[in-house]
Structure formats: structure tokens, C-alpha cells
A and B are shown apart, each in its own frame.
Chain A
Amino acid sequence: MSESPAGHTHEDFALEQRLGTLLRGGVILSASVTLIGGVMYLASHGNVPVSYHTFTGEPAGLRTVGGVIAGVLRGDSISIIQFGVLLLIATPIARVLFSVIGFARERDWMYVACSLLVLALLSYGLVHGG
């Protein structure tokens, strides 16, 4: 028998522990980056008037992975917040990637295929914008 309190196999239990740690770490990391960017922004732009009543859309530099990273390298606080958002969106995607690896270790090819399909759909959304 395995050490899983839920009666799952040893391999599934190991995968569940890895996925749990990854999700927790991803949320903590992305929330921290978002908060750091936010404090930096408010320290320098706290008096700037803001309004979200009409939709204007974000500038191109905040809409793509490359644009956000370029902004972070310039030290732009708004780009740092957006980088935190990207890390958050990447967290479930990384979870699916870890599932591919975990199921491959178990030689569970049906679920490797399922996970790869979901990974492809998610990457398509993030890279091509649907």
C-alpha cells in the first residue's frame, strides 16, 4: 500500500504533492511580484487620476509576453504588475506541464495525451491571443 491518506497509488500521490507545491508557490510568487510593482507604482504615480469607466484597451507593450518582459527590464512599475499577472496565468499552465511529465513517468499515455492537448490549447490562447 502507498502512504497516501486517500488510498491513491504511490506515483499518483507523488504527483499530487508536486502539483500542490507548484500551485501554492506560483500564487505566492505572482502575488508578491504584483504587490511589489503596485507599491512602486503608487509611490511614484499615486496622484495620477484614473478612470475605467470607458474601455480604451491597454497599450501594446502590456498585451504581449515580450512587451511585458521588456518593460520589466526597463524597471517600469506597471510592467512589473503585469509580469505578476503573467506569472499567475502561467501557474495553471505549469501545472498542466507537470501533469504531462507525471503521467509520462507512470506510462499513462492516455493522460499524457489529454494533458498535452490542454497544454496546446492554453499555449495557443496565451501566445496567439485566441
Chain B
Amino acid sequence: MHALSFTLITLGGALLAGLVGALTGLGGGVVLVPLLTLGLGVDIRYAIGSSLVCVIATSSGAAAAFVREGFTNIRVGMFLEIATTVGALLGTVLAAYVSSSTLAVIFGIVLMFSAAQSLRQRVEHIAATEPGSLGARLRLASTYPHEGKIVSYGVTRVLAGFAMMFAAGILSALLGIGSGVVKVLAMDRAMHLPYKVSTTTSNFMIGVTAAASAGVYLHRGYVNPVLVMPVVIGVLAGATLGARLLARVHVKPLRMLFTAIMIALAIEMLYQGLTKRI
């Protein structure tokens, strides 16, 4: 295929990936990697390199607004980024030993799990920080705006959250995704931060996590500029469009459709990986 036609096709696919990522709240990476590998026959290493770059773009773009509005807990983010960056650097080391087929299988499992998570009902729990606990010593408790009021919240089980963030970092580097689903689980379920704080702080952290492994992969030659260009521009445009749509239209039927697509992609990744086609 010629560069121009390849760029236009990739641009269209990336736009769709950005849109799906924004509407399902899962980010672009989990859709982009299957799209590039299964749809366009791109080697999984190039796909992972491009996807990580996109993940930095979309998460930083979204995080910019949320941090200014005060939803993001910058101390929780900064502290847990120690775990995600160490995890991400370890993930880049592991990536050198894991075959493409194994990566495809792990990807399929994570994609399946992410699709299931996007359908779950959300239960809001607000915790109080135990005096003398790690959360108290790290001064992680804060406030956030909720329905026109300022709501205070505490933090529990910081070490469990930290361990889950380490795993999120490894997965992010191995698969070229933001690992937002695992990050939100760590903050929402383990640490009992409010859901809105968990999702916005996850977004805030994703850029740093992805930057750690993207820097390493750039050195390894995983980042192809001609492939990355339409992918970044397309995903950013799709994510921006998705954010506008979210504010305007009722997206529940769309979200169900996209979740079904993700489950199909997960099955295809598992199949291709298990039969060593990838």
C-alpha cells in the first residue's frame, strides 16, 4: 500500500478508536492495538509503540480540564505514579522476552475484562482516613466538587492501591495501553476514593505511566513516525468528538454496541494469539 492511502485508512480507523475510547470511558489504547494488528496487519510492536504515544495525547488532553476543575487528587496521583512508572519500566524489560502470540493472548484477556468493567454498575463509597494510617501520613485526603457542593473524602488501603498500580504499569508497557481500568479499580475499589476522583486521577496518571515506556520503546525503534502521525491525529480528533457527544446525546445504546465490538475484538485477539497467527 502507498503511504498516502495507508495514512488515510489509518486516520479513519484511529478516529473511530478515539471515539469508542471516549464513549466507553476506556481510552483509545484498548481499541487501537487490535485495530492496527487485526485490521491493518501492523506488527504488534509497532502497534504498541504508536498506541502508547496516543495514550499520552488523549489522557493529557482530558486531564488538562479535570485538574483545573479540581477533581484530580494530585498528591494521590504523584504518589501512585512511583508504582506505575517502576511497573512500566519493568514491563518494557519483560516485553523483550514475551512473544507476540503471548502478548495477543494477554491483550485479549485484558480487553474482555475491560469490556465487562465498562458495563458494571457504579457504587459510590466515600471513606474516612484512619488516623495514623499510611493515607494520613501521606496527607492523601482531599475535597472535590460534587453537585454544587464541596465534598470531603479520605483514603483507605493505600498499600493495596500501590500494588495494583504497579501491575497497571506493567500491563501498560506490555500492551501499549493506559491501563485506566486497573487504575480506576485501584483507587475506586481498593482505596475508596470517589468515582469521579478515581477516573480523573487515573487520566492524570496515564500520561506519566505511558511516557515511561514510550521513551524506552522509542529507543528500541518501536515508534514509526509515518504510522504514528495518522494514529495520533485520528485518535485525538475522535476523542475530542467523543467528549462533545458525551455531553450532548444519550450514549447508552452506543456504549452497549461498542462494548459488544470490544468483546468481539477480545475473542479475535485470543484466537489469533492461541493459534500463533500474531
Please tell me if the beta carbons of B92 and A52 are within 8 angstroms of each other in the complex: no
Interchain CB contact under 8 A, A37 and B225: yes
Instruction: List 16 A–B pairs whose Cβ atoms lie within 8 Å, in order of A's numbering.
Output: A7-B143, A16-B70, A27-B57, A31-B57, A42-B7, A46-B3, A49-B1, A52-B42, A53-B42, A55-B46, A57-B220, A62-B223, A89-B56, A92-B56, A92-B208, A111-B79
Measured CB to CB, the nearest residue on chain A to B237 is A31
Contact of A53 among B3, B41, B221 (CB under 8 A): B41
Q: Give the interface of A toward B (CB within 8 A).
A: 4-8, 12-13, 15-17, 19-21, 23-24, 26-27, 30-31, 34-35, 37-38, 41-42, 45-59, 62-64, 78-79, 81-82, 84-86, 88-93, 95-96, 99, 110-111, 114-115, 117-118, 121-122, 124-130
Does chain A have a CB within 8 A of B212?
Answer: yes
A23–B221 contact, CB under 8 A?
Answer: no
**Cβ of B41: which chain A residues have Cβ within 8 Å of it?**
52-53
Total of A-B residue pairs, C-beta within 8 Å: 234
Secondary structure of the A contact surface, majority rule? helix
* Interface residue ranges, B against A (CB under 8 Å): 1-4, 6-7, 40-43, 45-46, 53, 56-57, 60-61, 63-65, 67-72, 74-75, 78-79, 81-82, 85-86, 88-89, 92-93, 138-139, 142-145, 150, 152, 207-208, 210-216, 218-230, 232-233, 236
Nearest Cβ distance between residue A93 and chain B, in whole angstroms?
6
Give the most central of A16, A17, A47, A124: most B CB within 10 Å: A16
How far does the alpha carbon of A41 sit from the alpha carbon of B225 in the complex, in Å? 10
Taking the nearest CB of chain A, how far is it from the CB of B59, in angstroms? Answer: 8
Q: Is the interface of B mostly helix, strand, loop or mixed?
A: helix
CB–CB B232/A88 < 8 A? yes
Contacting residues, chain B, for A42 (C-beta < 8 A)? 3-4, 7
Q: Is the CB of A130 within 8 A of B219?
A: yes
Q: Is the CB of B69 within 8 A of A63?
A: no
Residues of B within 8 A of A111 (CB): 75, 78-79
- B85 adjacent to A114 (CB under 8 Å): no
Assembly CA distance A19 to B63 (angstroms): 9
Chain B residues positioned under 8 Å from A88 (CB to CB): 53, 56-57, 60, 232
Question: Can you add 20 more A-B contacts, CB < 8 Å, to A45-B3, A57-B221?
Answer: A5-B70, A6-B71, A6-B150, A13-B70, A16-B68, A23-B60, A23-B67, A24-B64, A27-B57, A27-B64, A34-B228, A38-B233, A50-B1, A50-B227, A79-B225, A89-B214, A114-B81, A125-B88, A129-B215, A129-B220
